[in-house]
Amino acid sequence: MAVQVPLEAPTLRYLSSFGQQDGLGKPCGMAIGPSSVIYVVDAGYGRVVRFSENGTFLDSFCQSERGWLNRIFGGGRSPTGIAIDGEGCSWIAYAVGDSISKFDRGGRLMLTLGHKGTGEGEFDRPRSVALDRDGCVWVVDAYNHRVQKFDPAGRFLMAFGHKGNDPAGEGAFDNPSALAFDERGFGHVTDSHNERVQVFDPDGRFVGQYGSWGQGDGQFRFPRGIAIDRGVTFVTEARNHRVQAFDRDGHFLASLGSEGSGDGQFNQPYGVAVLGRELLVADNQNQRIVRLGLD
């Protein structure tokens, strides 16, 4: 049996921020693409913005007619989640638009999945998307309170989860937000209104959970984004305005952040991604990407 090496608590420290000067509206999901290009889903203006590794603006694509800021006037689609596959293609979740779209590296539309509904392959506010080691597409279907899985060609494979607040977990979700895979292939899902993270094996079977409501170490208030790197899980909290780190078994390691707009502060952090020895956080209401050092 493999021996698990205990993890030392990482130190999170503020480095810098970027994106405000480039007109980010409401940054949500993030992903790292080829050549360490940073992909940021900007729900405010219905687009995906690409930055270089050092935070320099490169370009944007999939601009919709109306983003989140203008949806009160009707129509439009707003992207909220993104994943990059092995070919550098972008899979984008449209929470407003109830669909998943695939774009090539040049930002050209290749494929669209789904529409509003409750059946197989249908969505109600798909908030995020993730890819497993086999290239399968996993969608967190927030208002249907479930996770759906598709093959790399976009064909429906399975779904699991239902609306509920069962303390034992077991796939009872209330407005889930995001999903990330650990080195075992297990999926960790932020169960936002139930203030916890649930863990599932590659077949969608419940494995465990961690977290509870509160403001202390290891507790959550609307856990939103999640990323896993080298056995450490990073979770953003929209209402505690911070990032927390956990070990493989869900034990608290470290945290950083408080409400505000200063260095090391957040106003509703959403997406999170790891780039080398840095943690990138989409600081939604501050309209920026925050860089944290991982020591």
Residue whose structure tokens are 């090391």: 264
Q: Convert the pLDDT of each residue in 84-132 to its tens digit.
A: 999 999 999 999 899 999 999 999 999 999 999 999 999 999 999 999 9
How many Å apart are CA 291 and CA 161, to the nearest integer? 34
Residues ≥6 apart with Cβ < 8 Å to 72: none
State the Cα–Cα distance between residues 285 and 156, nearest whole angstrom.
Answer: 34
Q: What is the sign of the dihedral through the CA atoms of 198, 201, 204 and 207?
A: negative
Query: How many residues are listed for the chain in this entry?
Result: 295
How far are the Cα atoms of 196, 218, 239 from residue 214, in angstroms, in the given order?
A: 10, 9, 10
The Cα–Cα gap between 152 and 129 comes to 13
- Residue 49's nearest CA partner among 86, 83, 19 is 19
The residue among 10, 207, 178 whose CA lies nearest residue 95 is 178
29 to 92, 120, 158, 160, 238: CA distances (angstroms): 9, 24, 24, 22, 13
User: Of 178, 145, 179, which is closest to residue 160 (Cα–Cα)?
Assistant: 145
State residue 78's pLDDT score. 87
Asked if CATH classification 2.120.10.30 holds for the domain at 12-294, the reply, yes or no, is: yes
User: Which tokens belong to 19?
Assistant: 């994106």
Cα(first)–Cα(last) distance of the chain, in Å? 30
Beta-bridged to residue 272, according to DSSP, are 281
What secondary structure letter does DSSP report for 125?
S
In 42-190, which residue ranges form alpha helices assigned H by DSSP? none
Q: What is the pLDDT of residue 77?
A: 76
Q: How many CA within 13 A on the CB side of residue 125?
A: 10
**What is the structure's pLDDT at 235?**
98
Residue with tokens 């995001």: 178
- What is the per-residue pLDDT for 73? 39
Give DSSP secondary structure letters for 44-76: TTTEEEEE-TTS-EEEEE---SS-GGGGGGS--
Name the stretches of the chain with pLDDT < 50: 1-3, 5, 66-75
**Cβ within 8 Å of residue 294, ≥6 positions away:** 10, 11, 12, 274, 277, 278, 279
Assigned token pair, 162? 């239902």
**Alpha carbon distances (Å) from 271 to 75, 83, 113, 158, 238:** 25, 11, 22, 25, 10
Which residue ranges make up each domain of the chain? 12-294
